[in-house]
Structure 1
């Protein structure tokens, strides 16, 4: 594979670590900053929300700028955000640092994906994008368990210093090996939102959002859940996160195979319905690690299995706006993470035990199932192709 794509994938690993690594060390952060675990969970909520909004907005604002320069500036901001996190003296300062890193990460990830397709031949573009996503996936799988171990040995702040150092390495590699690349025209945000306006497409995006919200109602607080319900120490919690991450990535492959065999619509319904059931039964298995582990693995696989059939459904429904719909689907994932971690934090702040979170997450997942069923029942209405509409609006705005 092209060396430049490998460098972009390495950069994706560095920046991808920041988002979810906080989840594994929430109790440690809460204790150090003298806040509740529910309040600490809002570090995930705000990060995901800023990420979801900043990605498409910053891409449009920087669309005409030279790509390498934008990438390097984003990395510098990302490094600064992690250094701020390392020195954060209180929760407010930490939250500001999370906003800075979320904005920079959102732009770095989308730039990594778009640049990867431009530095290879058309026949290699799919593999290039897959390699960058593999980098992001690797950071999600390895980041949390490694973060727990590093936090136990050296303190949680050292984690963000290490991430900053990794980003410095990415900055050097990008500076040396990536050539300058001119910007181009981006589809205006208001045009993008119009592609989302139909009930059919909008409710499909809501299905993704609510499924991830149900997932993160529990996953954002998995460490205190494992500690309080299964009495696991940090080593076993780290191992649980590693198993969870490997299962989640394999779930993406399972979702793709299922979609190919029985179709996108049936796959979406099966995945979401099974996901809701897995969360509902999870609390009944905590009396035994032997029983809990396979149910957790099923939950993990289903949490990522939704992406391939959902993306296929969006593309099949309206191929002319596939890029826009997939971009919004990524934002829907981040909004879902934000909502889910907020719901879990609120439930715990109200005095509810952490053991109740899977049931709450299951209810949220059922809402996702209803949204998907509603989307499938709606007809797709289109006069002229959406691509022609988008192109026409861009020409009109330029004139």
Structure 2
């Protein structure tokens, strides 16, 4: 693959001015099967948050050690994201997606029946491969299903599964774990992946690969100015989000002075708003991706900075946490769509770069947030969120339209 950005047709570069066509029932079914897959995979990813205590007790390890199952999923996913589109070569993309769901089934079953910590880690590593492979292909597959000018809307539906899983998985996992055990909860995620796989088999059309990618193709794509700016937007906005969002609860406890019940209600508002933001982000991304990126960053800047200034007021804090959730819901749609618009001829390679950017942002955000909260208290991470989100606003306003 060579850098063909200079020879892209005007139709490819003018995607924002094309009216999306109506979807057929078959298209809806196919996109919903991908949404089911994202729900199944992300549910499995976030499930350990509600299972750490019984998991650690059963395996005779500390809760800190048990928490490394999340690290294993993320770290393996980051490496796999670079290699996934290289390793699959010219395999039919439907076959690849079904295979990744099968891997998720096997990985969840292995984790559910693991007799020791290392088998549990192996199962979680397999889930990391399935996750990164799915997300690296997601934009390219959605674009083929719905058309490039409706990619934002399609990705909004697919990532809706992420929002729902983020809200439901930890709490439901904790309930199921207390009821019938953490291994049963893990087994149920294998069942979700099996349902998603069946939906893929039934609904997805055949998706032959138009080309195969090499690692050099992926890195060559980073020479494009639009791709560089798209990756930078992910790094800035998501580093800021993950640096601050982890410490929203300590902020509400220490600054707003809320008890556990009101905090849970505020976080529920965050989750519900993220679902709404997900849908709105898809609509706005298809209308104008540059406006969508600017709006997304402005909302996150406003919410986090206003919390720092006026977070002592209970009603204001509730509204701002909800606004932050809306902005976060937009991001998984807007940021990948923004990056992909600079590489319509190399969506799979762009997908790999997108996944790597997200994983790096999550890692940096976690490290910076932890350092700042220990040194400056709960207000510090939110200040960093505001600063990085504001930088994303500036990036969005100066980013070239092509």
- Shorter-chain TM-score above 0.5: yes
For the pair 1:366 / 2:387, whether they are aligned, the reply is: yes
Partner of 1:232: 260
Further displaced range: 330-339 or 107-116: 107-116
1:264–1:62 CA distance, 2 compared to 1 (3 A): closer
* 2:377 maps to which of 343, 353, 356: 356
1:259–1:124 CA distance, 2 compared to 1 (3 A): closer
* 1:47 maps to which of 62, 73, 76: 73
The CA distance in 2 between the partners of 1:335 and 1:187, in whole Å, is: 22
Partner of 2:96: 70
Deviation at 1:97, TM superposition (A): 2.8
1:161–1:317 CA distance, 2 compared to 1 (3 A): closer
Partner of 1:166: 192
1:84–1:323 CA distance, 2 compared to 1 (3 A): closer
Preserved CA contact (<8 Å) 2:78 2:356: yes
For the pair 1:305 / 2:330, whether they are aligned, the reply is: yes
CA shift digits 1:103-128 (9 cap, x unpaired) = 01222445566556667799998766
Secondary structure of the structure 2 residue equivalent to 1:65: coil
1:205–1:322 CA distance, 2 compared to 1 (3 A): same
Partner of 1:247: 273
1:213–1:46 CA distance, 2 compared to 1 (3 A): farther
For the pair 1:20 / 2:53, whether they are aligned, the reply is: no
Task: Please give the residue correspondences for 1:266-305 in structure 2 after superposition, counting only pairs within 5 Å.
Answer: 268-269=293-294, 271-272=296-297, 274-282=299-307, 290-305=315-330
* TM-score (ref. length: structure 2): 0.70
1:35–1:298 CA distance, 2 compared to 1 (3 A): farther
* TM-score (ref. length: structure 1): 0.71
The CA distance in 1 between the partners of 2:384 and 2:208, in whole Å, is: 47
1:202–1:24 CA distance, 2 compared to 1 (3 A): farther
Deviation at 1:180, TM superposition (A): 6.1
Partner of 1:393: none
Deviation at 1:298, TM superposition (A): 1.4
The CA distance in 1 between the partners of 2:69 and 2:277, in whole Å, is: 27
For the pair 1:186 / 2:248, whether they are aligned, the reply is: no
* 2:105 maps to which of 79, 86, 89: 79
The CA distance in 1 between the partners of 2:334 and 2:69, in whole Å, is: 30
Partner of 1:331: 356
Gap regions ≥5 residues in structure 2: 1-24
Partner of 1:212: 238
Deviation at 1:312, TM superposition (A): 6.3
The CA distance in 1 between the partners of 2:363 and 2:42, in whole Å, is: 16
1:29–1:371 CA distance, 2 compared to 1 (3 A): farther
Deviation at 1:296, TM superposition (A): 1.1
1:89–1:347 CA distance, 2 compared to 1 (3 A): farther
Deviation at 1:79, TM superposition (A): 1.8
Secondary structure of the structure 1 residue equivalent to 2:211: coil
For the pair 1:138 / 2:164, whether they are aligned, the reply is: yes
Preserved CA contact (<8 Å) 2:301 2:387: yes
Preserved CA contact (<8 Å) 1:192 1:324: yes
The CA distance in 2 between the partners of 1:339 and 1:34, in whole Å, is: 27
The CA distance in 1 between the partners of 2:247 and 2:48, in whole Å, is: 10
Partner of 2:366: 341
Secondary structure of the structure 2 residue equivalent to 1:202: helix
The CA distance in 2 between the partners of 1:60 and 1:245, in whole Å, is: 35
Gap regions ≥5 residues in structure 1: 383-399
